[in-house]
A and B are shown apart, each in its own frame.
Chain A
Amino acid sequence: MLAFMTYAERYYGKLIGYFLDHFKICMLTMFFSILIAVPISLMLTKHKRLSKGVMAVLGAIYAIPSMALFAMLVPYMGLGTTTAIFVLVLYNQSILVRNTVAGFDSVDKMAVESAVGMGMSPWQVFSKVRLPIALPVILSGIRIAMIATIGSATIAATINAGGIGALLFDGLQTMNFVKMIWGTILAASFALIFNMILEKLEKRALLKARGEYIPRKAKNK
């Protein structure tokens, strides 16, 4: 217990560094994952026929063990953060696309048709109608992908991507339990905190999408 605290006291700068590296990898991964998943999902929502094939491919990628995927890609992309993020983004597509498509599918067809018919531009139909109604389901996908990413990103340390994984593997190699425990605590609390935040957002989006959301100020009066 003492060693545990002393380690933190002595190396807290390092711990924060691991954490921030990890945070950076996860955030970049999520950013690119969403950036790619949304257009794919919109395309699949529009062209249902493509859906089966694309989902099968994304599912197959998801099923490849991450070590194997890293091993396959390192010869081409080299070691480091970029390769790690590339792999993590690939993994996320299955979860994100599935949920995003389900989200857009949940939007009432008649509401969309009304929106188009009354003269909304394609962008207005998307931003004012489809996205707000689909958002809770999309956010649910983002939450699951985020948790998965936080976990998988530790493995990325094996290809020198840094982050909490570096601390874990370092501890593992030197049989340093303090490092391992700190790594576990950091990764787990990171995941828990993001789960909580995203759950809150999801709940709020759900209330809004259903028309049950009551803004604070209205509640108080």
Chain B
Amino acid sequence: MTAVAVEFKNVCKHFPEAEVNAVSHVSLKINQGEFITILGTSGSGKTTLMKMVNRLHDITSGDIFFFGENINSLPVVEYRRKIGYVVQQGGLFPHMTVAENIAVVPHILKWDKEKIDARVDELLEMVGLKKELYKDRYPRQLSGGQQQRIGIARAMASDPAVMLMDEPFGAIDAITRENLQDELLRIQKALHKTILFVTHDISEAFKLGDRVIVMHEGKVQQFDTPDRIMLHPANDFVAKFVSADDVMKKLQVLKVHTIMDGLSIKTSNQLAVAHVDDTLETLLKLFMTSSTQTVLVKDDKDKIVGEVSWHRLSAIAS
């Protein structure tokens, strides 16, 4: 059984002079190793919800637990060092080199120099930047996407169990954003970090999240897997917000494994193979380009684990 990394118990946040709660009666549990996306329109309370986790905002009522401990009982500065934090546009320190930026927390934790240097190199490699080229550069000499990579490396420097990311790719062009999303997924798969990731972009939330928190007016509308949200929206708001009745949207969001059937023996000469985590959109293209009636499905280890018939896919439309 996996541990619960972060638990909200009836959490409310009320800002002075505001008419309504910015976050209202949120109770939910986030398991260790889960990639959670927080989705909602602007002003729905996503950032506020996240900032209560690392105590940038005080909780008005209710409790948040971090691996079972009430966060208000922990010394705040030391507690924050256990959590990686990435903000929009990186929030890098302009007067520090890339290496110095990444080394901030290890430095505070008084690691010795060799250990810090080795860690900086390791992290640069992890986020796909050549250390010889980037170590001594300053943030202003980097593109937006590169700055975001450094922001992620910096947040991971002391190997925190939990990462908070507030619209980290919000200001980045579409193609770079796709690349960053893919790399973040790869990193998360390799390191099993618990990630809370705020976004207002539905595709991004559904692509990245193992589970998605849909927020509206400070309340959690639904907290479930992308597939279940798409197929069984909890209320009208969610249905409308994620366009659950839009076939194209479904194809973009739903993954192959949701409609996959067990392997029938007569797999004669189908050549087309999809991945369990591919979207139905990708699957549709595969059908159209290979002109088969059935596509095989493989898992991460390239093992064939099932199949999807054209029939099954077209049923999604109805």
Compute how far the CA of A108 lies from the CA of B88 in the bound complex, rounded to whole angstroms: 12
Contacts of A209 in B (CB 8 A): 94-95
Do B91 and A108 have beta carbons less than 8 Å apart?
yes
Chain B residues contacting A59 (CB-CB under 8 Å) are none
Q: Contact at B139–A211, with CB atoms within 8 Å?
A: yes
Q: How far is the CA of A124 from the CA of B93 in the complex (A)?
A: 13
Q: How large is the interface on B (under 10, 10 to 19, 20 to 34, 35 or more residues)?
A: 20 to 34
A121 and B104 alpha carbons, distance in the complex (Å): 12
A108 cross-chain contacts in B, Cβ below 8 A: 91, 94
Question: A82 near B: Cβ within 8 Å?
Answer: no
Distance from A101 Cβ to chain B, minimum over Cβ atoms (Å): 19
Kindly report which residue of chain B lies nearest to residue A120, judged by CB atoms.
B108
Q: Which residues of B contact A114 (CB under 8 A)?
A: 85, 87, 90-93, 151
A93-116 CB mask vs B (1 if < 8 Å, else 0) is: 000000000000000101101111
Chain B min CB distance to A218 (Å): 8
Residue-wise interface mask of A (122-155) relative to B, using a CB-CB cutoff of 8 A (1 in contact, 0 not): 0010001100110000000000000000000000
Tell me the complex Cα distance, A15–B13, Å: 68
B contact residues around A118 at 8 Å (CB): 80-81, 84-85, 104-105, 154-155
> Which applies to chain A's interface (DSSP): helix, strand, loop or mixed?
helix
Bound-state Cα–Cα, A59 to B79, Å: 43
Chain B CB count within 10 A is highest, among A108, A113, A118, for: A118
For the complex formed, measure the closest distance between the CB of A118 and the CB atoms of chain B, giving whole angstroms: 6
| A134, chain B: closest CB distance, angstroms | 10
Q: Which of B213-256 contact A (CB under 8 A)?
A: none
In whole angstroms, how far apart are the Cα atoms of A133 and B95 in the complex?
7
Contact with B along A4-27 (1 / 0, CB 8 A): 000000000000000000000000
What residues of B have a CB within 8 angstroms of the CB of A211 in the complex? 94-97, 138-141
| B81 and A210 within 8 A (CB) | no
| Inter-chain contact A119/B56, CB cutoff 8 Å | no
Q: A210-B140, A212-B138 are in contact. Are A117 and B95 (CB under 8 A)?
A: no
* Chain A nearest CB, measured from B60 CB (Å): 20
The answer to whether B89 and A110 touch across the interface, beta carbons within 8 angstroms, is yes
Interface size counted on chain A using CB atoms at 8 A: 22
* Other-chain contact of A133, B54, B87, B94 (Cβ < 8 Å): B94
Check: B78 CB closer than 8 A to any chain A CB.
yes
Contact in complex: B105, A110 (CB < 8 Å): no
**B133: Cβ under 8 A from any A Cβ:** no
Given known contacts A111-B93, A209-B95, is B105 in contact with A117 (CB within 8 Å)?
no
With CB as the reference atom, state the residue of chain A lying closest to B86: A114
* Chain A contacts for B151, CB-based, 8 A: 114
Q: Name, among B77, B93, B105, B141, the residue most crowded by chain A CB atoms within 10 Å (CB to CB).
A: B93
Which residue of chain B lies nearest to A109 when distances are taken between CB atoms in the complex? Answer: B91
List of 3 A-B pairs having minimum Cβ-Cβ separation, nearest first: A211-B138, A119-B81, A114-B91
For the A-B complex with A114-B87, A129-B93, A211-B138 known, give 12 more contacts whose Cβ atoms are closer than 8 Å: A108-B94, A114-B91, A115-B104, A118-B84, A118-B85, A118-B104, A119-B78, A119-B79, A119-B82, A120-B108, A128-B93, A211-B95
Spell out A's residues near B (CB within 8 Å): 108, 110-111, 113-121, 124, 128-129, 132-133, 208-212
A-B contact pairs, 27 of them (CB 8 A): A110-B89, A111-B94, A113-B91, A114-B85, A114-B87, A114-B90, A114-B93, A114-B151, A117-B80, A117-B83, A117-B85, A118-B81, A118-B84, A118-B105, A118-B155, A119-B78, A119-B82, A119-B83, A119-B105, A120-B108, A121-B77, A128-B93, A128-B104, A129-B93, A132-B95, A133-B93, A211-B140
